[in-house]
Amino acid sequence: MRWATLGLGVILIAGAFLAGARVADTREGLVYEVITLMAGLAGVSLVLYGLVATLGRPQAQVLMPQTTVRVGEKVHNAGELVLGVFGLVVAAILVVGIGVSAGVLWALIGSILLLPMIAGSAYLCFSFARGPRREWRIDVHELLSRR
């Protein structure tokens, strides 16, 4: 099922690009513009669903060595730090790109629009830095088994 949604999403995105080539300032061009927008939205939604959905399957249990962790104490792993830094870098690249191409006022508006992303990424960095227990390794198998 996941492969079918991924395939359909890729087909819809390709159709959006093909319809985008036919957009013009005519009645027919407006129809192609609507097709472009709707196919692009549906295609991206299906691709994201195909990548992250578990579709009701039980998740694989990973055998990990038992450690004593107090109730309520969370172990922060380096994946949080990597995601937080990556989000901040992407936000900085986007804001600088807007500032260079459109000006400082548009960069300010773009940074306001990116504020939830910036806040979430900063929270991940700070929660890792201030966490009482940190684990400096990234378990790729654990990240991939959650799908």
58 DSSP assignment = P
Nearest alpha carbon to residue 85 among 122, 55, 131, 48: 122
For the cut 70, the answer to whether the pLDDT of residue 54 exceeds it is: no
Beta bridge mates, 76: 134
- The residues spanned by each domain of the chain are 2-52, 75-145
* Average pLDDT of the chain to the nearest whole number: 78
Tokens of 83: 């995601």
Does the global pTM surpass 0.85?
A: no
For the beta carbon of residue 131, count every other beta carbon within 10 angstroms: 16
> Taking residues 128-136, what's their average pLDDT?
74
Distances (CA, A) of 144 to 6, 15, 27, 74, 135: 17, 30, 47, 20, 18
